[in-house]
Amino acid sequence: MKQILVISGKGGTGKTVIAASIAALARNIVIADCDVDAADLHLLLHPKIKDQFEFKGLSKAVIDQEKCTGCLDCRNVCRYDAVVQTENDGLSVAIDSISCEGCKVCMYTCPVDAISMCDNVAGEWYISETKYGSMVHAKLGIAEENSGKLVSVVRQNAKKIAEQKRCDYVIIDGPPGIGCPVIASLSGVDIALIVTEPTLSGIHDMERVVNVAKHFNVNTACVVNKYDINLANTQNIMDWCRNNDVPFLGKIPFDLSVADSVVKGVPIVEHTTNSVTKVLAEIWESLS
């Protein structure tokens, strides 16, 4: 079984469009959408949810109002301003769950043991079926933390399903950037396909994410999306890849048919046959 991760150093490079096309071109696969902060692969693959599970993040502090004396010791030690007064006389306080970081300092400080830690449902994750294969995906709640942990849950279950079904590939749509979710996505994959664009920010962020992947000893390859919007920058990317031993797998041209396929909610390789789909097929052949 081969795990292929599609990531980008920045958002908006076309990563999900490419991941969806690879899923449509491949056979005997499991799909994982690890962009849990802004999941959108489902818009192209239309999964039917079979199982739904709660994702519990960091515990949050809760105040027992019957025990609370309003001493405000908890507010004085909270470094996140999560303890708020609920009455003008200052005798009643509550925890702002969005600001609370679950550090437990208030719980240990409270002289009357009025504060306890409660489980916090931070999102949901799903096991679904698509016409391309099983799909594991998730949705993190608004302003919730622990997206890296949720990515690990998605990855682990996608791998488990792939092993059970004896699948040849796990196709992973990763998050953009270089943060915790990206690191959780990179762990244990066979290759990370870096999608970039010929802009200065695209080049800069491509270099950063390649360096992160190399730090974790993950093989990388690179493709340029919308390469013809700036041929000079595309050449700079190709030169950089050659000088840094990063395989360069293809140049995808700008084409309005890609936007049409997104509007219709289908992978571009199923929407039409043109120069874009030809390059995508060649990229998949290189990866497989």
- Which of 142-146, 156-160, 176-180 has the highest average model confidence (pLDDT)? 156-160
Summarised one tens digit per residue, pLDDT across range 70-92 is: 888 999 999 999 998 876 555 67
The C-alpha atoms of residue 105 and residue 173 are separated, in whole angstroms, by 37
Q: Do 64 and 177 share a structural domain?
A: no
Global confidence as pTM: 0.84
Summarised one tens digit per residue, pLDDT across range 92-151 is: 788 988 888 889 999 999 999 999 999 888 889 999 999 999 999 999 887 777 678 889
Q: Do 152 and 12 share a structural domain?
A: yes
Measured in degrees and rounded to the nearest 5, phi and psi for residue 245 equal 60, 40
Identify the CATH number of the domain in which residue 66 sits: 3.30.70.20
**pLDDT value at 69 more than 90:** no
Give me the number of domains the chain comprises.
Answer: 2
Q: Domain residues for 104? A: 60-118
Q: Do 156 and 89 share a structural domain?
A: no
Amino acid at 224: V
Q: Do 146 and 249 share a structural domain?
A: yes
In Å, how far are 144, 186, 270 from 12, measured between CA atoms?
22, 19, 21
Q: Do 255 and 156 share a structural domain?
A: yes
Q: Do 283 and 236 share a structural domain?
A: yes
Identify the CATH number of the domain in which residue 33 sits: 3.40.50.300
**pLDDT value at 287 more than 70:** yes
Give Cα 132 distance to the centre of its chain.
20
Q: Do 189 and 50 share a structural domain?
A: yes
CB 227 within 8 A of CB 253: yes
**Domain final position from 118, 139, 164:** 118
pLDDT for residue 126: 95
| 235 — pLDDT class (breaks 50, 70, 90) | very high
**Domain final position from 100, 118, 136:** 118
| 242 — pLDDT class (breaks 50, 70, 90) | very high
Q: Do 129 and 114 share a structural domain?
A: no
